[in-house]
Structure 1
Amino acid sequence: MFHGSIPALVTPFRNGAVDRDAFAALVERQIAGGSSALVPVGTTGETSTLSTQEHKDVVTLCVEITKGRVPVIAGAGANATDEAIELVEHAKTVGADAVLVVCPYYNNPNQDGLIAHFKAINDAVALPILLYNVPGRTVVDLQPAAVAQLAQLPNIVGIKDASGDLARVSQHAAAIPEGTQFVQLSGDDPSALGFLAMGGMGCISVTANVMPESCAEMHKAFHEGDIAGAQAIERRLIALHKAMFCSPSPGPAKYVLSRLGLCEPDVRLPITQPDAQAVQKIETAMALAGIKA
C-alpha cells in the first residue's frame, strides 16, 4: 500500500503552456530524493485550471517518465461523476497505478451523494482509488461513517484526509472492519507527523515539491522508530510547511522552485504569484529549512 512522502506535484508552465521539460526534471528530482510515489494533477498541480486534454497529457507524461520506478497516483477528481470516470479510465489506460479522487465540489452533495459518486467510479473502472477529503476547498466533508462504507468496495484502497482533524485517523480505523486493506494518508504537511503517530502511513505533500529528501527522511525516521529524528526534521520544516500557504497554493512552492532554477514561478489565474509580503515569509522559511538558492 502507499506510504511515506508523496509529493502533490506542481505543474510547471512556460509562456502559458505546460513546461514538459521542467516537469520531467521535477519528476526525476522527486524519485532521486526518495519520494515513495507521485501525484500529478492534484490540487497543487492546478488541475482546476488545466483543460481536460492538458490534465490527461500531464498524467501520461508522469507515467512515461517514471517508468514504474515509483507508483503514480493520478489526480482524477471532478464535480461531475461522469467526468471523474473519464479521467480514471484515462489514468488506467496510460498505466497509472492508482487515482486520487476528490470529493465533488461546488454542487455540495450530501453523504448519500458522495457515497453514490465514489461507488459509481468504483464500479466503472478497476483501478485502485484513494478518496480525497478536503472540506476547506470542496465545502463538503466526507464523514467517517461514509468512509467506512466506501472502504468495503473492492477498488477503494485508502484516503487522503486534509480535514486537519487528527481524530479522523482513529475514527476511520475504528469504523473500518479489522483486516480491511485501507491506507490513510495525510493531506496536511504541518500535522503529518501527528497523523503518522495516530496510525497514518504517509502524506501527500506540498512541501515535498521543494524539499523531497527532508520530507522522505522524516517519514523514514518515524517508520524506523526514530521519533526524535523525525521530530527534529519536522521542526526544521514547520515554517516552510506554513509558508507554502501564505499565498494561494501552489504560488509559494513554485516561487521556491524558481529560486532553485527548476521551473518558472508562473501560475494560472485566478491564482497569482506571491506578493512582496508573502515572498518575505517564504524567504525566511527557506533560510530556516536550510534551502540555499
Structure 2
Amino acid sequence: MFSGSIPALVTPFRNGSFDEDAYRDFVEWQLTEGSSAVVPCGTTGESATLTFEEHFHVVRTCVDQVRGRVPVIAGAGSNDTQVAIKNIRTAKEAGADAALMVPPYYNRPNQDGIFAHFEAVVTACDLPVVLYNVPGRTVTDIKPETVVRLARAFPQIVAIKDASGDMPRVSMHRGGAGPDFVQLSGNDDMALAFNALGGRGCISVTANVAPRLCADMQAAMLAGDYDKALAINDLLYPLHAALFSDASPGPVKYALNRIRPNVSADVRLPMTLPSTESCNTVARALDFAGISQQ
C-alpha cells in the first residue's frame, strides 16, 4: 500500500501560527520531486505542540493540496485511547488515506495493553493504520510478537514505521506477518539496509530537504539497483547525521529555510533553534550533497 520515499513533513510557522501558504508550496514541491506519500503532523511536524484544531487544519490542508496524487498518512496517535480514537476518526473525516499511530507513551502499558489499545482504535474506525514504533521517544516498545499479533488479527493494520533501530526485526516481522505487511524504515541512516532485509521504503526526515535524492534512492532499491542506491546514500549520509545534530526538528527546519527561504525555521517551545555548531554541520552536509537554494 505504501512504498518509496515518504517525508515526515515539517509544519512551518510564522509569527507563532501555522503558515498555510508556505506549507502548500512545500507539499507541492515534495510531489514534484517524487515523494511517494506524505505524513503531516508526525513527530517532525511538531504534533506535540499543535492544538487539536491546528493539527487537523494542517491535515486538511495537506489533503487538499495533494488532491489524491499520493497517499496522505496523518499523524493521529495518543497515549489516551479515547483521544486516539477521536484523532483517527477526525483524520478519516479530513480525507487522510491512513493514520500513523504511536503506541501509548508515558503510561507505559505492557504488551497486552498495547494490543488492546490498537484493538480499540481499529474497532472504532476503519481507516488503515500504520503502526509507529519509536521507543526512543515513547519509551513504549511494540515488541515483534505484538506487531505480528496485531497484523494477523486486524487486516486494517497494514504497515509499520519502525524506528526501533533493531534491524533483525525486519526479518521477524516479515516471517510472522508475511511479505505483504509493509515495513517502512523510521531511520534515514538505516534505510538502505532496512530495504535489503525486506523493507519497502522510509518515512523520512531527510526527504524534507532532499526529496529528489531520497526518492531516487528508494526507486533504485525497489528496482534492485543497489549500486545506485549506495552511491546516493553516500551523498546523503552526512545530512542524515546533521539533521539530528541538535534537537529535531530544529536542524531540518534550518536546512529547509536555507534552500527554500519562504519556509521559516521557526519552532515552538520547548523546541528551540539549533546551535551555531549544528547549523554549520547542516550547511556542510547540504554542500556535500550538492543541495542548494531552489
**Partner residue, 2:210:** 211
1:54-203 maps to which residues of 2 (within 5 A)? 54-152=54-152, 153-176=154-177, 178=178, 181-203=180-202
1:262 Cα offset (Å): 3.5
1:142 Cα offset (Å): 0.5
The alignment partner of 2:77 has SS state of: coil
Distance 1:199 1:62 in 2: 29
**Partner residue, 2:225:** 226
On the 8 A contact 2:56/2:94 being kept in 1, the answer is no
Report the aligned-residue RMSD.
0.9
1:21 Cα offset (Å): 0.4
1:227-246 maps to which residues of 2 (within 5 A)? 227-246=226-245
The alignment partner of 1:151 has SS state of: helix
Matched, 1:53 2:53: yes
Distance 1:169 1:95 in 2: 30
Distance 2:79 2:123 in 1: 18
Which runs of 5 or more residues in structure 1 are unaligned? none
The alignment partner of 2:247 has SS state of: coil
Which runs of 5 or more residues in structure 2 are unaligned? none
> How many residue pairs are counted as aligned between the two chains?
291
On the 8 A contact 1:122/1:154 being kept in 2, the answer is no
- Runs of 4+ more than 2 Å apart: none
On the 8 A contact 1:189/1:206 being kept in 2, the answer is yes
Counting aligned pairs with the same residue, the percent is 56
Matched, 1:250 2:249: yes
On the 8 A contact 1:76/1:87 being kept in 2, the answer is yes
Distance 1:160 1:195 in 2: 11
Distance 1:22 1:247 in 2: 24
- What is the TM-score of this pair, normalised by structure 1? 0.98
On the 8 A contact 2:133/2:162 being kept in 1, the answer is yes
The alignment partner of 2:274 has SS state of: coil
1:250 Cα offset (Å): 0.8
Residues 128-171 of structure 1, C-alpha deviation per residue, up to 9 Å, x if partnerless?
00000000000011100000010020211010000011111001
Distance 1:262 1:204 in 2: 24
The alignment partner of 2:78 has SS state of: coil
**Partner residue, 2:275:** 275
Distance 2:273 2:207 in 1: 19
